[in-house]
Structure 1
Amino acid sequence: MSQGVKIIAHLLFSWLVFSNIMSSVNAEYFNVIHYGALGDGTSDDSLAFLEAWEAACSTRTENSTVIIPENKTFLVYPVSFSGPCKAKNITFLILGKIVGPISPLAWEGINPSLWLTFNGINGLNISGSGIIDGRGSGWWNQSCRDHPGLAVNILSCNASNVRGVHVMNSPQTHILVMDSNRVDIRQVTIRAPGSSPNTDGIHIHSSRNVNISQIDIGTGDDCVSVGDSTSNINISDVKCGPGHGISIGSLGRGGNFVKVENIHVSNAYFNRTTNGARIKTWQVGKGYVRNVTFENLYFNSVENPVIIDQYYCNVRGTCKEQQSGVHITNVTFSNLFGTSLSSVAVSLHCSHYVACTGIFFNSVQLTSAKAGSEVTSSCSNAQGFAFRMVQPEHCLKI
């Protein structure tokens, strides 16, 4: 073989290798534009999103990425991105903006309970600097039963995370984590008007080993809420306001057996929220809430900084007394500081039949947000101890 032929053969071989490498690399990235999405904000891009997802999910590779490109707005109707995927890790990279239908009329004939759903996926990564806008204002004056439920749904997902995205104006809850294990949510911003109903920031239900950190949330309901059948939940470095605070509950509404344990809330700042650290249960519930810690919390003009309510009811004071209840035990409030708008800064309203036990206060300094006013504690059937300085004076039964 002549030298020239050898050179040509070598170049051809190198080109084939390079081509295969590039094909492999390109196969790992799936831009929704390449699947027909227009990104003009008015055309329905749902099918393109699904086709890009299916291609990414079915690719047998270490990492696969669906790209929602920047400088475009994609109108998407309810879609479900389902697994399991052949890709070991699959990323939903949001650089542009995803919006939902703006009018409730656009949802006729469509299941309104879900919008963007990620179901049955291991190694899911939702990330990027883009925006998810539920455009839910058209629903907020209607019955909550008629709302499309949630903006981003993470269902039955394991070893997954959400990073950096901005979620806003959901008809109801912005991010739901349900039936999942090992989920990490951080550096996320969530926004809706303080007057918008039931627009929780993040709700966790039937899940374990969930970490939420470095979150900035302002909505019309709980910044973070923890539902039933949850364990090993860590919530830290949260800015909350406006909203209803960080809540465990409400639990036991249907008379079910509640199982919530190992919940840790730390380093949170509450700015003019309705509540701060809250646990709320229905009388008809059974089971337990145990091993809960609220620590290093700061309250700025919060209506109810600390509250445990075992008499939670649709209309306060109208629910009939029950001889049952969810047992709340081993709850610690440590290093709490700031101001209360109400005269009762600490309210522990526990059941006559299933008292709260093992309630601990350690270094609490709460004062009135109103000049010249004082704050107090109010307790019923709450047992525990206080350590170091506790202001207002505690009312726990030893």
Structure 2
Amino acid sequence: MSQFLLLMEVSFSLIMIVLVCSDVVLAMAGESEGVFDVRESGAVGDGITDDTEAFLEAWEAACGQECVSSTLVVPDNSSFLVGQIIFKGPCKASQITFQVLGEIVAPASPLYWEGLDPSSWIVFRAVNRLHVTGTGLINGGGTGWWDQSCRYHPELKGCTVLAPTAMKFISCASGSLTKVRFVNSSQTHVLIMGCWLFYVDSLMIKAPGNSPNTDGIHIQSSQYVTISHVAISTGDDCISIGDHTSNIYVFSATCGPGHGISIGSLGRGGNFVQVQNIFVAGVLFRNTTNGARIKTWQVGKGYVRNVLFEHLHFDSVRNPVIIDQNYCFTRGACPEIPHSGVQISNVAYINLFGTSQTEIAINLNCSRTVACTGIMLGSIYLTSASPGKQANSSCTNAYGNTIGRVHPPSCLIS
């Protein structure tokens, strides 16, 4: 019980810090002095003309404005064709609001990216106090990339593994992304990397359930990130949490189709993993491959610790609760690697209910040499999505305790 209370204390301290700071960020975003409409920089907005240079010109003006704040406006009732674009900081403006009211659409053909970085479309780099908001649409036009993806077309000569992420936030602080809609990114929709104190709220992210590698939001090497009130339907993880992350808070989210919310995969290159203080609450998983997942490669080292999954609802999910500490290239046929593995500890699953598409609703597949410790299960009721069938638990080298009723019965080693 003391372990659980400590975890709750850490989590709610995180909530208060992030929400208070986010309120400050959004309040600041309300101030505005300089307004820069991309049409005034020559953008046409007919969905055919390349408006990349006009966007860059408007950005340079907004970024260079020495005032309290500046706003770059992408107006409504227009569709702006924009190629690969990097909005660079630091800026002279004390803060920038990037207001998306219309549509921003990517080039339809992957041939456009020849000679360019194929992993990027819209990038914000080293811009602090940036607030991307609006009711507009970011359309990645990913069909061309999906049709040549090595994941689904490995026999295709020249198939591609890497495709553009729709929007990246790199090396930033005190920023936010709110209300914007994302559809059909070629690969990941939103990447937050190397950022501190970042707030995501009220996003809609959508791509076909069979689209390859189209994660909704990926967080990497970042601290104090809040994600709230998002609806994500994609072909990969709804939200994925990568290495060197801490103090991540996710609440009030709807996920599906997709692969669920994943911590990992971590340690693929044998590196030292550092992930801690992750809080996920109030999430509905509907027809997803996974629900609450932690996956680490056998060759990894380091730790994942202080994680709380709470108030989760699973509607026909294949793997509602899963830890896979033996992740490798040959899924399901990974030989044990002695004296190696990421230490997973102090992970709590509280107030979970719903249905599992598979027999194993709780699957804690931990390393035989580096056990999972401090696992807590409390107030869980998971049943089979198929009438008349049973839902069960499966544990390998997983140590912990239960609180209250747990169904299917716990298989933890106490």
TM range (shorter): over 0.9
Matched, 1:101 2:107: yes
Matched, 1:361 2:377: yes
SS in 2 for 1:329: strand
Code of the residue aligned with 2:378 in structure 1: it is N
Matched, 1:339 2:346: no
SS in 2 for 1:239: strand
How far is the alpha carbon of 1:152 from its aligned partner?
Answer: 0.5
Matched, 1:351 2:367: yes
23, 32, 38: which is aligned to 1:32?
38
| 1:131 alignment partner in structure 2 | 137
How far is the alpha carbon of 1:313 from its aligned partner?
Answer: 1.9
Matched, 1:45 2:61: no
Output the CA distance in 2 between the equivalents of 1:164 and 1:207. 21
| 1:315 alignment partner in structure 2 | 330
Output the CA distance in 1 between the equivalents of 2:211 and 2:385. 25
How far is the alpha carbon of 1:315 from its aligned partner?
Answer: 2.5
| 1:152 alignment partner in structure 2 | 167
Matched, 1:306 2:321: yes
Matched, 1:82 2:98: no
| 1:193 alignment partner in structure 2 | 208
Code of the residue aligned with 2:229 in structure 1: it is Q
How far is the alpha carbon of 1:195 from its aligned partner?
Answer: 0.1
| 2:237 alignment partner in structure 1 | 222
| 1:143 alignment partner in structure 2 | 150
Aligned-pair identity in percent equals: 54
| 2:78 alignment partner in structure 1 | 72
How far is the alpha carbon of 1:103 from its aligned partner?
Answer: 1.1
Judge conservation of contact 2:295–2:323 (CA < 8 Å) in 1. Answer: yes
Deviations 1:213-251 (A, max 9, x none): 000000000000000000000000000000000000000
234, 242, 256: which is aligned to 1:241?
256
Output the CA distance in 1 between the equivalents of 2:200 and 2:161. 28
Matched residue count: 374
Matched, 1:110 2:119: no
How far is the alpha carbon of 1:94 from its aligned partner?
Answer: 0.2
TM-score under structure 2 length normalisation: 0.89
Of 373-382 and 136-145, the range deviating more from structure 2: 136-145
Output the CA distance in 2 between the equivalents of 1:257 and 1:33. 48
How far is the alpha carbon of 1:146 from its aligned partner?
Answer: 4.2
Judge conservation of contact 1:139–1:147 (CA < 8 Å) in 2. Answer: no
Output the CA distance in 1 between the equivalents of 2:33 and 2:341. 55
Output the CA distance in 2 between the equivalents of 1:278 and 1:48. 43
Judge conservation of contact 1:276–1:299 (CA < 8 Å) in 2. Answer: yes
Judge conservation of contact 2:33–2:68 (CA < 8 Å) in 1. Answer: no
| 2:346 alignment partner in structure 1 | 330
SS in 2 for 1:71: coil
Judge conservation of contact 2:32–2:70 (CA < 8 Å) in 1. Answer: no
How far is the alpha carbon of 1:27 from its aligned partner?
Answer: 6.5
| 1:14 alignment partner in structure 2 | none
Output the CA distance in 1 between the equivalents of 2:121 and 2:380. 42
Judge conservation of contact 1:147–1:171 (CA < 8 Å) in 2. Answer: no
Judge conservation of contact 1:135–1:170 (CA < 8 Å) in 2. Answer: yes
Deviations 1:323-381 (A, max 9, x none): 20000000000000000010100000000110000000010000111111110000000
Alignment of 1:230-309 (within 5 A): 230-309=245-324
Output the CA distance in 2 between the equivalents of 1:147 and 1:361. 38
Output the CA distance in 2 between the equivalents of 1:27 and 1:54. 16
TM-score under structure 1 length normalisation: 0.92
Q: Gaps (5+ residues) in structure 1? A: 1-24
Judge conservation of contact 1:32–1:48 (CA < 8 Å) in 2. Answer: yes
Q: Gaps (5+ residues) in structure 2? A: 1-30, 152-159
Judge conservation of contact 1:218–1:242 (CA < 8 Å) in 2. Answer: yes
SS in 2 for 1:115: strand
Code of the residue aligned with 1:167 in structure 2: it is F
Code of the residue aligned with 1:264 in structure 2: it is F
SS in 1 for 2:326: coil
